[in-house]
Amino acid sequence: MIVDKAVYHDGQRLACGHPSAELERLRESGNGFLWIGVKDPTDAEFAEINHELRLHPLAVEDAVLGNQRPKIDIYEESMFVVLKTLRYVEATSDVETGELMLFVGDQFVLTVRRGEVNPLDGVRHRLEAESGLLGMGPLAVLHAVLDHIVDTYRAIDLQLLEDLENIEEAIFAGDRTVTGQEIYQLKREVLEFKRGALPLVIPLRRLVTGETRVQLPKKLRPFYNDVLDHLLQVVDHAEAYDRLLSDILAAYLAQVSVQQNNDMRKISAWVAMAAVPTMIAGVYGQNFDFMPELHWEYGYYLSLGLMAGVVVLLYVLFRRSGWL
């Protein structure tokens, strides 16, 4: 459905009539642009918008199919941008993923949002409060959306770092409540984070450095550079988190292995101490007639003392060697 639509002249919002008619008037005047925001459109709704704006068929196909890799495709009369929207769920430490697509033309912007992650109401309102940026046209809208998405990445980056530091501190403090499943789950969330941010680096860099047909206005280029710098920081952090989590998981598995070895040593020590009395009792339980100690007055006490003495001796030796 269409969430919002408006015409902008010199940074000022105006009422929007039929999109195709408004776009034709804008192209005749050469001033202003049309911005339509759509959320989870049906095939019929998207077909109607496509008919009015005459979008590139390849971009339309990607938008209809959804679940695209982050990218910036440049066509003859428009630009198609796919972004992954992310949200950190604090209660479960999960990273939820959505999708945002932008069609940017000479005098129109169409935003297509799928899912509930990161609505764009705040972006539009901030731009409308800064008419100077809106006066720069559709590329200013693209920058505002990119900046909003990357700022969200930076916030999630800090939250993932906090989770990572908590797990790292717990592991090396010997906290046995941390499980391998928790470490692996956090690693999966970092991977989801990387999938959203990393593929955007190359196309955004090409756009900023002028390697495409789209040439950014000189006033906007520093703003796009700033977004690219922030995105590179986020990607560098995500890759570092991924490597560190691999090291933490290896350290956790090593600790588990050491603990298992310690447990086996303790079990072996107790088994050894139990085996000696069992052996002595077994010797005197053979029921032979000619066993001198059987008829000796102190034979029973001797056997008990021998068992106790050997067990105490083994216990002292195992304690000194660190097995108990």
CATH assignment of the domain containing 176: 3.30.460.20
pLDDT band at 287 (very low <50, low <70, confident <90, very high): low
Question: pTM to 2 decimals?
Answer: 0.78
Q: Which of 228, 255, 282 is the last residue of a domain?
A: 255
Calculate what percentage of the chain has a pLDDT beyond 70: 94
Q: Which amino acid is at 64?
A: V
Q: In this structure, are 303 and 271 located in the same domain?
A: yes
Considering the domain architecture, whether residues 176 and 126 belong to the same structural domain is answered as yes
Domain-terminating residue out of 232, 255, 278: 255
Give the whole-angstrom CA distance, residue 23 versus residue 267.
81
Shared domain for 73 and 204, answered yes or no, is: yes
273, 175: one domain: no
Residues 214 and 265 placed together within one structural domain of the fold: no
Clarify whether residues 243 and 192 are in a common domain: yes
- Whole domain around residue 46: which residue ranges? 2-255
Buried b (16+ CB within 10 A) or exposed e, 206-224: ebbeeeeeeebeeebbebb
Which residues fall within 8 angstroms of residue 105, CB to CB, at 6 or more apart? 53, 77, 78, 79, 138
Q: Are 104 and 36 in contact (CB under 8 A)?
A: no
Can you tell me the distance from the alpha carbon of 124 to that of 105, in angstroms, rounded to the nearest whole number? 18
CATH number, position 302:
1.20.58
Among 179-183, 220-224, 242-246, the least confident range = 179-183
Answer yes or no: do 242 and 96 share one domain: yes
Report pLDDT for 293.
66
What pLDDT, on the 0 to 100 scale, is given for residue 53?
A: 83
Region 184-188 average pLDDT: 89
pLDDT at 71 over 80: yes
Contacts of 217 (CB under 8 A, 6+ apart): 136, 139
Are 251 and 266 in a shared domain?
Answer: no
pLDDT: is 119 or 319 the higher one? 319
Q: Residues 70, 43: one domain? A: yes
Indicate the range of 106-110, 134-138, 240-244, 262-266 predicted with least confidence. 262-266
For residue 309, what pLDDT is reported?
A: 83
Question: Are 291 and 237 in a shared domain?
Answer: no
The dihedrals phi and psi of 4, each to the nearest 5 degrees, come to -160, 150
Q: How many domains does the chain have?
A: 2
Assess whether 233 and 268 both reside in one domain. no
Mean pLDDT in the chain? 84
Q: How far apart are the first and last CA of the chain?
A: 69
Alpha helices (H) in 130-220, listed in sequence order: 131-134, 138-172, 180-197, 201-208
Residue where one domain finishes, among candidates 255, 278, 308: 255
| pLDDT band at residue 237 under the 50/70/90 scheme | very high
Residues 284 and 173 both lie in one domain: no
| Phi, psi values for residue 40, rounded to 5° | 45, 60
Burial class (CB in 10 A: 0-12, 13-18, 19+), 320: exposed
